[in-house]
Structure 1
Amino acid sequence: MFFANLPMRKAIGTSLTIIAIQSLIGFTGDLVHQDIEWPLVLSFSGVSMIGLLLGVRLSKRILDGNLRRIFGWFVLAMSLYIMAKEVL
């Protein structure tokens, strides 16, 4: 955001796009090597799409400063969760 001088909404969208692409690449690699639980994948995808639609609506109503703060806390919480999961 700072180096590319992007608005917060574009920075979040870019970040989530990169995450989605990386997840898709990882998933296609798993298709060959693992047995996929399709009901779980499809239900998770459905819930994700609902969350996407809700997120788009909410992001239009939240001010940029608040959106930045919320996104920062979310990233911090997720990183702490991942670190705790890996350590414990």
Structure 2
Amino acid sequence: KIIFQAAVIGFFTGLIGAGGGFVIVPALIVLGNLSMKQAVGTSLFIISINSLIGFSGDFGHLDIDWPFLISFTSIAIIGILIGTSLAHRVEGAKLKKGFGWFVLVMGLFILLKELL
């Protein structure tokens, strides 16, 4: 069952060209019966593995701007540490509501950007 669900989610995220986190999280909550925090953590793990695989495929073939990569990664690590600290203080219900608003705002932003 989970393999079928993962394949469907992978198909649709590949079809629309989205990163997948906004589809993976709700699917893990609804279909996988995970809590919001578990779903977000699992989604981030999946995305990080996908990114690592993509990076390793391009590693020997592209010129990499190492200073940019290192600075971006450093800022991301700081964000991870802050987010982890805040996650202990935010209950799952509020996180779920915030995630919903975030997806809605980003969807509207993308829609407006494409229409204008």
TM range (shorter): 0.7 to 0.9
Cα distance, 1:43 vs. partner?
Answer: 0.5
Cα distance, 1:12 vs. partner?
Answer: 0.4
2:72 to 25, 40, 44: 44
Q: Tell me, what secondary structure is at the counterpart of 1:36?
A: coil
- The aligned counterpart of 1:3 is 31
Matched, 1:33 2:50: no
- The aligned counterpart of 1:19 is 47
Gaps spanning 5+ residues in structure 2: where? 1-28
Cα distance, 1:38 vs. partner?
Answer: 0.4
Q: Distance in 2 between matches of 1:86 and 1:73?
A: 20
* TM-score of the pair, normalised by structure 1: 0.83
* TM-score of the pair, normalised by structure 2: 0.65
Considering Cα pairs closer than 8 Å and 6+ residues apart, tell me whether 1 or 2 has the greater RCO: 1
- Change in Cα spacing, 1:39 to 1:29, as seen in structure 2 (3 Å) is same
Which of 71-80 and 55-64 deviates more? Answer: 71-80
